[in-house]
Amino acid sequence: MSQVYDRVALIGLGLIASSMFWAIKRAGLAGEVTGYARSRATRDTARRIGLCDRVCESAAEAAEGADLVVLCVPVGVMGGVAEEIAPMLRPGATLTDVGSVKRNVIEQVAPHVPEGVHFIPAHPLAGTEHSGPESGFAELFENRWCLLVPVHGSDPEAVARLRAFWEGMGAHAEEMDPDHHDLVLAVTSHAPHLIAYTMVGVADDLRRVTDSEVIKYSAAGFRDFTRIAASDPTMWRDVFLTNKDATLEILGRFTEELFALQRAIRTGDGEQLFDYFTRTRAIRRGIIEAGQDTDAPDFGRGVKKS
């Protein structure tokens, strides 16, 4: 893969940004990568592990002169960061993000984008339950999707360049409308996370099941909820507050389905339960066939760090 940008700036140095850096370096996608994190401890860690070619002391310093600036911060602070770096964004540069919500990010960031700067929101559908600068690895985006969400008037050439960048990191890229993105993610990510948080919270409330039993017998399915529920609390708080409508719509549908299953269990309707579980099993098979997971014994979680 050849170089796509001369200089890339990563604002926020958690799992996604650190994985981006290692993937960029592996494929030679940028000449220089600058980085900034709000926490001094994170910046010190980044320098210690060689994360970024240059770790800066402000977001504006990191963004100065960059061809591509990537906002890798929680959704709730995207607007503030965009405002801070705006004076440093040079004409012809691209500003993008990796947020899990798109309509709200566009509303926050777009007013601060200077004339001549290409704003192309994006969202890589990749992650683990781990966070922080040391959690990243170059293979994170391989065979995963990155959704590009161009705003009105986005330059096709700049979009194509960003697509090539994500494809260079191993991802498949596809364009999507922001509102549709938020609905899709409410189904595939946001509502499932909330349900996982609730399940783990319910287990914590059920004092009849002791803590040691919850931990000891978690392979029975609870373990998979705890993996999701271990995700970064700040990020997920912001996701639910900024994708409120779509998440509430899907949770409403979930509640209706749950009531239907409760009724089937109460009335002993085994046929309905069997048909329902057969349908959901087919969805799991489809995910595996699409290469988005594996049926290996470790649920495909054996991650090899580079």
Give residue limits of the domains in the chain. Answer: 5-176, 180-267
**Tokens read off for 157:** 């050439």
- 35-54 residue pLDDT tens: 999 999 999 999 999 999 99
pLDDT at 129 (0 to 100):
81
212 Cβ contact partners less than 8 Å away, ≥ 6 residues apart:
none
Tens-level pLDDT at each residue, the chain (306 residues): 689 999 999 999 999 999 999 999 999 999 999 999 999 999 999 999 999 999 999 999 999 999 999 999 999 999 999 999 999 999 999 999 999 999 999 999 999 999 999 999 999 999 888 889 999 999 999 999 999 999 988 999 999 999 999 999 999 999 999 999 999 999 999 999 999 889 888 877 765 666 677 767 777 678 888 888 888 888 889 999 999 999 999 999 999 999 999 999 999 999 999 999 999 999 888 888 888 887 775 544 554 444
Q: What is the pTM of this model?
A: 0.87
> Residue 26, SS3?
helix
The matching CATH number, chosen from 3.30.300.130, 3.90.1300.10, 3.40.50.300, 3.40.50.720, for 5-176 is 3.40.50.720
> Residue 297, SS3?
coil
Q: Distances from the Cα of 297 to the Cαs of 36, 91, 192, in angstroms?
A: 38, 50, 22
Q: Do the beta carbons of residue 126 and residue 101 sit within 8 Å?
A: no
Closest listed residue to residue 52, CA positions, set 70, 75, 76, 77: 70
209-245 in b/e burial notation, b at 16+ Cβ within 10 A?
Answer: eeeeebeeeeeeebeebbbbbebbeebbebbbebbee
H-run or E-run covering 70: strand 68-71
CA 151 – CA 139 distance, rounded (Å): 29
- 131-154 residue pLDDT tens: 899 999 999 999 999 999 999 889
The matching CATH number, chosen from 3.30.460.10, 1.20.1050.10, 1.10.1740.10, 1.10.3660.10, for 180-267 is 1.10.3660.10
- Give 259-291 as a DSSP string: HHHHHHHHHT-HHHHHHHHHHHHHHHHHHHHTT
Report the half-sphere exposure of 70 (CA within 13 A, side-chain side): 28
